[in-house]
Amino acid sequence: MEEIVFMVGGQSGEGIESTGDIFATALHRYGYWVFGFRHFPSRIRGGHTNYRVRVARHQVYTHGNRIDIMAAFDRESLDEFGALLSSGAAVIFDPSAGQSTPPAGIDVRLCPVPLGDLANKAGGAIMKNVVSIGAAAGLMGLDPGVFDSVIRDTFAKKGEKVVAANQKAAREGFAYAQEHFGVTHRLSPPVSSPGMILSGNEAVALGALAAGCRFLAAYPITPATSIMYWLVDHFPQFGGVVIQAEDEIAAINMAIGAGFAGARAMTSTSGPGFSLMMEAIGLAGMTETPVVIIDVQRGGPSTGLPTKTEQSDLNEMLGGTHGEIPRIVLAPSTIEQAYLITRRAFDLAEIYQCPVIIASDLFLGLARASVPVLPAPAPGDRGKLWDPSSQPAADGERFRRYRVTEDGISPRSLPGQRGGEFVATGNEHSEFGPEIEAPGIRVTMMQKRLRKLAKFDLGDDAVWYGGDEHPDVLLVGWGASWGALAEARSVLAAAGKKVGHLQVVAIMPLPVERLRPFLANAKDIVICESNATGQMEAHLRRYGLLPAQVRRVNRYDGNPLTAADVLALWDLHPRAEGRPGERDPAAMVLPGQLRLAGETPAEGWPVLDPGLAVSGAKGGGEARDQQR
């Protein structure tokens, strides 16, 4: 087979997350490309949770549309997710625990494994999860030691005994499965080794470190906190600081203070915290202080769906704060882009001296997947920093921090620089800083600030397009749904449609002229987003980019948008993954590389290639028997 989707499901508190992580990391180390996504409730104990890991021979961008091997620890695993089982799927369960039966009509292979007994044999019932992944590895015909190194890394702190017991538990499961069921889902051997496995949140954190950011102030909130965790662990080693603020108002004001002082500074949050930041976003805009804000969106409004994904903060990112300021909003589509865009965001914040908002979401932030090795840090662009040697301050005159310039951007002095003293104020102010209300100056200063982004252009990175050169059907998306849309496009193309996929990466300022040619000619525009009201549609419409009639796919039940959601418009279904698909390299515009100025792209990096996303490479014919 070209690829397999494994799911482990149980009650939260049962260690489902660590089991999924061990499985994903082990398979990644084995040489496969994985994509893992956890479904979890907003409580610590009890409630169904599951972890799906798609394992493929080539890079994949979603957790797939089906389940091939399921380890079920609770009834809900089968009751709620049984419909996703593929034909011939294997269900691992403990016959001594109460189980419901898989849905009728699907040909599944029941694999009863005495998980508890085998775990006890290895040293304790708690390791039944590990037995189950051992059994899954057995069904896949892998190596009995596949989990050894990951188990060692995971449990090393708990001592050699625990490591050895878990390794034994995995091998018990493996041996049992091979003996009783043989290999049911053999994966073809790996073809290329993936470089790294990380989540979107980790990619953001790594991007910040790579960009020279050394200051994070944040308040814990699902699903953004893992950005903070990573930086808490790493910033101190690099001379950086993380402050756990008393609330998000404090967090963003701290970041603005650090930015004013000259640090590259950021805050990370999710909807509720982002709402608290509105006033300060205007402050950053008015004082022309660089700051980077990561909004890992979750289901809103209010506390909403804390552990579910959504893309419903767009309106707030575009317009949140009173008054009018220049701001930049960017939405990464993939984990690699989360790294690249974050890295880029710190340059943009300093070049344009304004807030930069990164629109991530729970699906992108928490999904953990194999990616190629990310490009190493390179020197960035700090924009117009005042250089006293080449631009001496006029004698006796105070520093004109807000000098009116042609591009609206003024040289910025930093505290500590003699002669650069000025006051940054959130009130309307003169070129020197102090507040002023004179109508003429007010208008001049408004225009100066708003002019800064007049020529903003992210270049080839602003939009991404893949597909037919003259599409009839145009799928339009933004953010984390990229993988699902890429997959839908591939199925539509295979069904004979002329189809394209347009992804908006730079959301504000909107690259209107780059988008127009794509949107002007398509007959059937389908805007796909994870919200109820079509916020991206409204945004595009505002710029006159859409015809009167478009179709929309809106998903807001908390789960990520899938290819199936899109294909339902045509009564089509995602193909059973693993079959070679048609690639259309001629029609495919490769995505921008989001590299920093002067940086050459590493070879093979990073092609967001929908062909690969769906079909895997040539020659995966043996997977055919696994279609639904």
Query: Of 343, 349, 353, whose CA–CA distance to 407 is shortest?
Result: 353
Residue among 251 and 527 whose Cβ is closer to another protein:
251
Residue 371 gets the label, from left (phi > 0), alpha (psi -120 to 50) or beta, of beta
Q: What is the DSSP letter of 307?
A: T
CA distance 377 to 264: 15
**Least distance from C-beta 247 to another protein, angstroms?**
7
Which one of 17, 80, 381, 421 is in contact with another protein (CB under 8 A)? 421
Contact window for another protein (CB under 8 A) among 378-386, 464-472, 476-484, 598-606: 378-386
Query: Of 517, 493, 617, whose CA–CA distance to 567 is shortest?
Result: 493
CA distance 21 to 546: 42
Residue among 91 and 206 whose Cβ is closer to another protein:
206
Residue 61 to residues 189, 364, 541, Cα–Cα distance (Å): 20, 10, 29
> What part of residues 14-43 is at the interface with another protein (CB under 8 A)?
25, 28-29
* Site track 157-196 with another protein (rule: CB under 8 A), x = hit: --------------------------------------xx
Residue 63 to residues 84, 363, 369, Cα–Cα distance (Å): 12, 10, 9
Count CB-CB contacts under 10 A for residue 532: 12
SS3 26: helix
Q: Which two tokens stand for residue 185?
A: 């889902």
Which one of 7, 140, 217, 218 is in contact with another protein (CB under 8 A)? 217
**Least distance from C-beta 159 to another protein, angstroms?**
22
**Least distance from C-beta 200 to another protein, angstroms?**
12
> What part of residues 218-257 is at the interface with another protein (CB under 8 A)?
236, 238-241, 243, 245-247, 249-251, 253-257
**Least distance from C-beta 273 to another protein, angstroms?**
14
417 lies in the site for another protein, by CB under 8 A = yes
Residue among 427 and 447 whose Cβ is closer to another protein:
427
Contact window for another protein (CB under 8 A) among 96-104, 106-114, 304-312, 377-385: 377-385
Residue among 161 and 238 whose Cβ is closer to another protein:
238
SS3 500: strand
Residue 147 gets the label, from left (phi > 0), alpha (psi -120 to 50) or beta, of alpha
Contact window for another protein (CB under 8 A) among 100-108, 268-276, 420-428, 610-618: 420-428
Cβ proximity of 64 and 84 under 8 Å:
no
CA distance 173 to 185: 16
Which one of 83, 125, 373, 443 is in contact with another protein (CB under 8 A)? 373
324 lies in the site for another protein, by CB under 8 A = no
> What part of residues 423-482 is at the interface with another protein (CB under 8 A)?
423-427, 433-435
CA distance 127 to 79: 24
Residue among 189 and 239 whose Cβ is closer to another protein:
239
Residue among 210 and 475 whose Cβ is closer to another protein:
210
Which one of 82, 138, 259, 479 is in contact with another protein (CB under 8 A)? 259
518-527: b (≥16 Cβ within 10 Å) or e: bbeebebbbb
Q: Which residues contact 440 (CB under 8 A, 6 or more apart)?
A: none
* Site track 478-517 with another protein (rule: CB under 8 A), x = hit: ----------------------------------------
Residue among 231 and 357 whose Cβ is closer to another protein:
231
Residue among 65 and 593 whose Cβ is closer to another protein:
593
User: For residue 509, is the peptide bond before it cis, meaning its omega torsion is within 30 degrees of 0?
Assistant: yes
Residue among 82 and 240 whose Cβ is closer to another protein:
240
Phi, psi (degrees; rounded to nearest 5) at 360: -105, -175
Count CB-CB contacts under 10 A for residue 396: 5
Q: Which two tokens stand for residue 85?
A: 């089982």
> What part of residues 547-606 is at the interface with another protein (CB under 8 A)?
none
# chain residues binding another protein, by CB under 8 A: 72
Query: Of 208, 258, 197, 196, whose CA–CA distance to 232 is shortest?
Result: 208
**Least distance from C-beta 342 to another protein, angstroms?**
13
CA distance 289 to 424: 9
* Site track 100-139 with another protein (rule: CB under 8 A), x = hit: ----------------------------------------
Residue among 15 and 259 whose Cβ is closer to another protein:
259
